[in-house]
Amino acid sequence: AATVPNAAAPAAGEAASANETIGGASEAQAENSLPGWTIAAIAVVLLAGAVLVVAIYRRRNSNEI
């Protein structure tokens, strides 16, 4: 039987290089992520803004009854 070379399989050096690239990307992502308190502060500010918008909307429309 004739053997067909496996062209789809990467060489051992290429596979190690790909793993190093993926590992480096995850390390860079971990360094660029925001701390938990920053995300919580942003969420609080957005929630306060939404409450303010709803309060203004209700106050303007309460006189139209």
- Please write the tens of the pLDDT for every residue from 15-39: 666 666 666 666 666 677 889 999 9
Q: pLDDT-based confidence at 48, cuts 50/70/90?
A: very high
Confidence band (pLDDT; 50, 70, 90) for 63?
confident
Task: Kindly report the three-state secondary structure assignment for every residue of the chain.
Answer: CCCCCCCCCCCHHHHHHHHHHHHHHHHHHHHHCCCHHHHHHHHHHHHHHHHHHHHHHHHHHHHHC
18: Cβ contacts below 8 Å, ≥ 6 apart:
10
Over residues 3-17, the pLDDT tens digits come to: 655 555 556 556 666
Please name the residue that has the structure tokens 């106050």.
Answer: 59
Report, as an integer, the average pLDDT of 37-43. 96
